[in-house]
Amino acid sequence: QVQMAESGGASGQAGESLRLPCTASGLTFDDHTMAWFRQAPGNGREGLSCINWNGQNTYYVNSVKGRFTISRDNAKNTVYLQMNGLKTEDEAMYFCAGKPLDCSGAWTSGNAYKHWGQGTQVTVSS
């Protein structure tokens, strides 16, 4: 049974940093592309970043490019999202997701992903 568990969600002030880890089990981690999504109340799910199986290719949506960094440690079955320069609009529930093959042009579509974590809440105050 595949399980993916995010942690690291917290409350912070604008400008601060947070790191979200997501640890997976029950799958061959380094066969999977991993991604981070978020969803704020009243909004749809937004794809933020994607990283291919060996970490050599990463992709970001414009709203987080330059502030967020995705990385992975295949030895630990863990993908990370380093979030710097937090803004109030970053407040949301954050989810990790995994799928076979590579990040592609459709990596921001949640429908492409087979495995999901339960989410971790990030709250940002001004």
pLDDT tens figures, 32-57: 999 999 999 999 999 999 999 999 99
Residue 57 · residue 107 · CB < 8 Å: no
User: What per-residue confidence (pLDDT) applies to 65?
Assistant: 97
Among 58, 61, 14, CA closest to 38: 61
**Model confidence over 87-116: pLDDT tens digits?**
999 999 999 999 988 897 789 999 989 999
> What integer pLDDT is reported at residue 106 of this predicted model?
87
Longest dimension (CA), the chain: 40
**Residues 46-76: b if buried by 16+ CB within 10 A, e if exposed:** bbbbbbbbeeeeebbbeebeeebbbebebee
Using a pLDDT cut of 70, give the percent of the chain over it. Answer: 100
The whole-angstrom separation of Cα 105 and Cα 84 is 25
* Tokens representing residue 99 in the block: 């799928």
Given CA atoms 118, 95, 55, 81 in this order, what sign does their dihedral have? negative
- 76, 23 contact by CB (below 8 A): yes
With beta carbons less than 8 A apart as the criterion, state whether 63 and 40 touch. Answer: no
